[in-house]
Amino acid sequence: MNAVHGAYAPPPSFWEALKEEIKQAAPDMGIDDIGFASADPFVSLKAILQRHRDQGYESGFEEPDLEKRITPALPGTQPSSIIAIAVAYPAKMSNPPKSGPGKYRGIMARSAWGRDYHHVLREAMVRLEAFIRKRVPEAVLESMVDTGALVDRAVAERAGIGFSAKNCAIISPKFGSWIYLGEMVTNIPFPPDSPVTEDCGECTKCIDACPTGALVGPGQLNAQRCVSFLTQTKGFLEDEVMRKIGNRLYGCDTCQIVCPKNKGLNWTHHEELQPDPEKAKPLLLPILDMSNREFKETFGDTSAAWRGRKPIQRNAVIALGNFKDASAVPKLSEVLLKDPRPELRGTAAWALGRIGGEEALNNLDKGMKSEQDEQVRSMLQQALHQLKPEDAGTDTEPVSSKPEAEQSAVNEPMGVPAVPVDTLYYDEVHTPIGTLTVVMSPQGVCLIEFGTFTVKEAVLQQWSRTWAGGAGYERDEERLSDVTSQLTRYFNGELKEFSVPLDMRGTPFQLQVWSVLQDIPYGVIRSYKDVANAIERPMAVRAVGGANNKNPVPIIVPCHRVLGANGMLVGYGGGIETKRALLKLEDSLPERKGL
């Protein structure tokens, strides 16, 4: 099909026919979906972007000129339409390598698996440009992939690629949100496609599961809180953020993993986008020894390389701290004492504080004597405070003094041997307070974590090493169906007492406290003082707070029903707002009881 686009422009039917020809040829160009939209400005988007900026939610990577972000443009001519493309990428890895003592691994987001998608999409766009120019030689075409001024999600939505989801992704009815997006502005007047009318409905699983609460509302992302953004920054990170990063080295997939629209979807037809398991889930310790050249040789062909090695190395240090990998102490100590980059030294101090032990403590002391950077010194002080014996009784409820009887309770022997099992079984259950990961041993429910298995992997592995002999995890929905069903009924207001077997693992003192917690009825609240009296250790209020906070089976063992003095909502592993939500569900918030 040849045409001359000028004074004697072809009739609309010509452009409709060309559009259909392009759609038919798209798969051969490496394009999985293609849509056409008008090039009118995205007028309503400007107010949204301005509000986003005013609230401080931007990442800083965006085009600063809002007009450019909403106004399609071409050099020397007026744009007539925009072509949007989508390329599907894999969501699952075949035979992923496993972490283990001394060989713990990080994880790259799926957008960093395989070859850098920027190159893959640009090459597809080059093929698309060539296809169009062969038929319309004088066409003006301007392609962009991810780094262009226009908001690619807005273009994709207008062009009918998919709908804009609550997690800020575009969800294709066919491919889910596992798609890369690109767009091409042109002066060819292609007839537009119709937008997708599907939406998220009542589902808020992505918002509930976001590790840092960065999804502040449907379709609203505070990039400054987003784990994906934070893993790409180069500076210091806060303690709370580092704990929630887990073992992520680049990016975060949580809001896509929990999305029902993505269930069962995995795309393997683009060979260049398939993951190399050793790059997608690499060993952590070798990353710390990489030179710039070695980093580029290993990760340079992936999208994770664009910010350089420092963020990846910092995130590897964080992951080792979250795994509490004692075998990493020598390397982390070397980073602390010798690395020229303050961000790496400070993060190593934090990780050593998480791991603990005499060697870590000694090297933190050494670092404190030689360190000059104020931020690193602050992180050293925090790590030392965490490890010094006199600070071991850090509590969840403030008290003015610590009597001798209470001190003995805090220092209850921790050397309780783990009870090894061959396998720990888990499943995830979606609730109004977010996704819960529920773990069972052959004896009963032994652990509930706030968050998905992927998000909590480092924490779960550490718990297994401490209390289950390092057993591996296996997903088994059928085995856990009774407990997940009971949890669902509880959150629906249909169940007030759980009847599942428990396998509680902790110190003798903790087990004593947790036993009392199990006897607190639905809708009833107790104080830490009440629990201390119940175990006949009235002076151990502070220690009771610590044991309450370490309850491994929250909700089923209702530690949320224990409050501080005067009904204060203090100290809860899932966060104060989660505690408030559980008490509200049971109609037992203190303000409702007149406390």
Q: Which helix (H) or strand (E) holds 227?
A: helix 227-230
Helix, strand, coil share (%) of the chain residues, nearest 5: 45, 15, 45
Query: E-strand spans in 51-95?
Result: 81-88
Is 559 designated active site? yes
User: Alpha-carbon distance 527 to 543, whole Å?
Assistant: 13
| CB environment 275-305: b (16+ within 10 A), e (fewer) | beeebbbbebbebbebeeeebeebbebbbbb
Please name the residue ranges forming H helices in 26-65. Answer: 43-54
| Chain-centroid distance, C-alpha 281 | 15
- Residue 444: how many CB atoms within 10 A of its CB? 13
**Hey, what's the torsion of the CAs at 97, 103, 107, 112, to 10 degrees?**
-80
Instruction: For CA atoms 37, 40, 44, 50, give the dihedral sign.
Output: positive
Which residues is 562 bridged to in the sheet? 526
| Eight-class DSSP state of 56 | T
User: Alpha-carbon distance 65 to 149, whole Å?
Assistant: 8
Classify burial at 561, counting beta carbons within 10 Å of its beta carbon; exposed 0-12, middle 13-18, buried 19 or more. buried
User: Alpha-carbon distance 357 to 365, whole Å?
Assistant: 12
Residue 136 token pair: 């319309």
User: Alpha-carbon distance 587 to 595, whole Å?
Assistant: 13
φ, ψ (nearest 5 deg) of residue 495: -135, 130
Residue 354 token pair: 């998480």
Q: Which is catalytic among the residues 210, 252, 446, 559?
A: 559
**Hey, what's the torsion of the CAs at 332, 336, 341, 343, to 10 degrees?**
80
Q: What is the 3-state secondary structure (H, E, C) of 411-429?
A: CCCCCCCCCCCCEEEEEEE
| Chain-centroid distance, C-alpha 96 | 19
φ, ψ (nearest 5 deg) of residue 107: -135, 135
Residue 269 token pair: 């037809």
Judged by DSSP in three states, 105 sits in: strand
DSSP string, 442-500: TTEEEEEEES-TTTTHHHHHHHHHHHSTT-EEEE-TTTTHHHHHHHHHHHTT--SS---
Q: Decide: 354 and 336 in contact? Cβ < 8 Å.
A: no
CA separation, residue 452 to residues 231, 290, 323 (Å): 18, 31, 16
User: Alpha-carbon distance 318 to 322, whole Å?
Assistant: 6
User: Token pair 């999804």 is at which residue?
Assistant: 215
Catalytic center residues:
559
